[in-house]
Structure 1
């Protein structure tokens, strides 16, 4: 099957019920709970939150690791009872690793890998998502999403529908094609001046924050980066404040694939 340069396929290989794949959303509970939602003022953070697609957890369960490296050292209790067991959630590798089978086979355009990881900036106490980079432009196989429990005898709860995997396309070989160089900033006079202007602007702004009724105190934070503007007022040629990824749709249709 010929594939266009911008086509990204998710082939259903097995039961996809309760495991929809959707665009990653910007919101995070801990960011909502931050003081005056300050966390959302960090544009790099919010862009990362949206930079891929997420797959939902197929079931609700509590997992506990007894510290042994055996597969039997991981206990999975499904809620509300064992009759709700989901065979896609299992202990396969041992060493306190929870495995969730991903029912999709992804096919990316030629030269594009898929970075598989946990949802950006989303945390689960006692469990760490394991990350991998897969050559999905040729591999005729699925992969599993794995979470490593980080300490024994600490129950960790997963809820059906919560994002448990994030997939991010990335160009293969890009990092290897770069020619890294390290040098003092003074070697680039224009950049050195820009850094100086930025530092002075930041220092002046922070000082003015402590002045009651000042414009800076009313603003609360500098927005130059969010606006794509340097301290001198020069605007960036390209700048993103949000991402608008497309949802997966059935071929020949503009309708989003409904969650299963």
Structure 2
């Protein structure tokens, strides 16, 4: 399958595979935050759109477009600057590309997972990019008035993840007693007991090596007995980079 970003002359979207790294995770003691595999996998599960410019924005608390003031760094091209377009305490980025996904696939648009920003929050969207001939915007909403928000050039402003259009509609959902799934109750209780024993052992005999301070069963895709539970378990995802746009074809 292929994800394509179509561009007109002068459109220069800054796109990259999403990083699994986060500053706050790097700063956690012994970088223990990376022991949470679901966090790490979510961080990298798509592509990021980067800001082409640095700027500072502030919202005065009103609901009109002019209640958001944006000050871009010197040299910012007008067409690359964010705008206060809709009011309602929002900040808007025009994404200079028309994206195309395979038939039946949408793009989930949001902020980068697990990357909070003080005073402003990303708004999510779902776009049918297998047919739409339209570009779209990424919007953020201020959460605190009279608080200066800063975006640096090259900072992620949007996160893109393909999702099959029928993913949610195709599921049924129910609540069931744990005993109705053969072996699940026993497996869970065995894991819970082993986790408690591990924590007790750690409290009694602290280990010095960071890798020995967590159990790693889920991280390694193992069941409570230590056997492989999932042959296609993954601890890393690698989105490919966008290749360069080919040169325009000369008209005869």
Q: Map Cα deviations across residues 116-170 of structure 1 (whole Å, 9 max, x no partner).
A: 0101111110010000000000011000011101111011001110111110000
Q: Retained in 1: the 8 A contact 2:207–2:213?
A: no
Alignment-derived partner of residue 87 in structure 1: 79
Q: Secondary structure at the match of 2:31?
A: helix
Normalising by structure 2, what TM-score? 0.91
- Secondary structure of the corresponding residue to residue 102 of structure 2: coil
> Structure 1 residue 65 and structure 2 residue 43: aligned?
no
Give, in angstroms, the shift of residue 234 of structure 1. Answer: 2.2
* Equivalent in 36, 43, 48 of residue 42 of structure 2: 48
3-state secondary structure, aligned to 1:205: helix
In 2: Cα distance, 1:176 partner to 1:37 partner: 38
* 1:133 corresponding residue in structure 2: 126
Alignment of 1:211-226 (within 5 A): 211-212=204-205, 219-226=212-219
CA contact (8 A) 1:205 1:216 kept: no
Q: After TM superposition, list the pairs within 5 Å mapping 1:27-42 onto structure 2.
A: 27-42=21-36
Query: For the residues of structure 2 that align with 1:247 and 1:77, how far apart are their CA atoms?
Result: 31
* TM-aligned CA distance change 1:214 to 1:12, over 3 Å: closer
Change (3 A) 1:215 1:85: closer
Is the 8 Å Cα contact of residues 30 and 210 (structure 2) preserved in structure 1?
no
CA spacing shift, 1:185–1:248, aligned 2, 3 Å: same
How far apart, in 1, do the equivalents of 2:180 and 2:76 lie?
63
Match of 1:75 among 69, 73, 88: 69
Cα distance in 2 for partners of 1:74, 1:175 equals 36
The match for 2:194 is 201
- The residue aligned with 1:9 is 4
Tell me the distance in 2 between the aligned counterparts of 1:115 and 1:159.
24
Deviating above 4 A after TM superposition, structure 1's stretches of 4 or more consecutive aligned residues are 213-218
Determine which of 99, 106, 110 is the counterpart of 1:113: 106
Which residue among 226, 233, 244 is the counterpart of 1:239?
A: 233
Q: Distance in 1 between matches of 2:77 and 2:64?
A: 21
Q: Any residues of structure 2 matched to 1:164-203 within 5 Å, and which? A: 164-203=157-196
Compute the RMSD of aligned alpha carbons.
2.0
Q: What is the correspondence of 1:153-172 to structure 2 with a 5 Å cutoff?
A: 153-172=146-165
Deviations 1:217-245 (A, max 9, x none): 98111111111111112212220010022
> Which residue of the other structure, out of 5, 10, 26, is the alignment partner of 2:20?
26
Q: 2:140 aligns with which of 125, 143, 147?
A: 147
CA distance in 2, matches of 1:14, 1:31: 39
Secondary structure of 1:109's aligned partner? coil
Change (3 A) 1:127 1:217: closer
Q: 1:58 to 1:215 in 2, by over 3 A?
A: closer
- Taking a change above 3 Å as real, the CA distance of residues 31 and 218 of structure 1, as seen in their structure-2 partners, is closer
Ranges in structure 1 where 5+ consecutive residues have no aligned partner: 1-5, 253-260
CA contact under 8 A between 2:58 and 2:145: conserved in structure 1? yes
Q: CA deviation at 1:214?
A: 6.4
